Amino acid sequence: MITNRSTTRLLLTLSIAIAMCVTSSVGAQQAANYGQSTGDLVKAVRDATERYKDVAAAEADGYTLMFGCVSGPDSGAMGLHYVNLSLVTDNVLDPAKPEIVIYEPLPNGRLKLTGADFLVFAAGWHATHPETPQLGGQLMHLFESPNRFGLPDFYTLHVWAWKENPTGMFSNWHSKVSCESFSPQ
């Protein structure tokens, strides 16, 4: 004989099982969408920056080396940031127009394009947008002031489009990038 208590337990168990199936299905769809938008963003960055494999092309388009070679004590490095100040100050995020292109200095003195960095100042962004900025479905990272760059609060998103990053395509630090071969001029 089924009691009210047994019926309640059965209904509760079924409800949990159904909820888990729905959540799992939604999670799988979100993961698939995440992968698609991730691939789309990386492709867009590659398309936008391929011409910058030669740093002279980046310089001709207004990118200038700033901050030397950025490295961390234990997380690898970011590398050399070539910054386009007019793009930094326009408060627009566009995968086709990265504010920064990133290079790794090589032992032979050449520079290897490793990715791009998208940057927007928090005050400028929040003057017209209440939410945290995103690019290609990726939330940007907030760097508060004071920071090592001497900048006001800013959001950033690194996209390691040209050198696979073991810690993630959108991590701030790249564990396989090094500043060892950098010599300031």
Which sequence spans correspond to the domains of the chain? 1-185
The residue that leads in pLDDT, 2 or 115, is: 115
pLDDT higher at 170 or 72 = 170
pLDDT of residue 22: 31
The first and second tokens of residue 140, run together, are: 């940007």
Higher-scoring residue by pLDDT: 13, 39: 39
Q: Given a cut of 80, is residue 33 above it in pLDDT? A: no
Would you state the pLDDT for residue 175?
93
Counting residues of the chain whose pLDDT is more than 90, the rounded percentage is: 74
Report the alpha-carbon angle 135-103-94, nearest 5. Answer: 20
What pLDDT is stored for residue 3 in this prediction?
A: 54
The answer to which of 25-34, 41-50, 52-61, 110-119 has the lowest mean pLDDT is 25-34
Residue 13 has pLDDT above 50, yes or no: no
Read off the pLDDT of each residue in 48-72 and give the average, rounded to a whole number: 96
Strand, helix or coil at 62?
coil
What CA–CA distances, in Å, run from 97 to 60, 90, 135? 14, 11, 12
Q: Which of 22-31, 86-95, 131-140, 142-151 has the lowest mean pLDDT?
A: 22-31
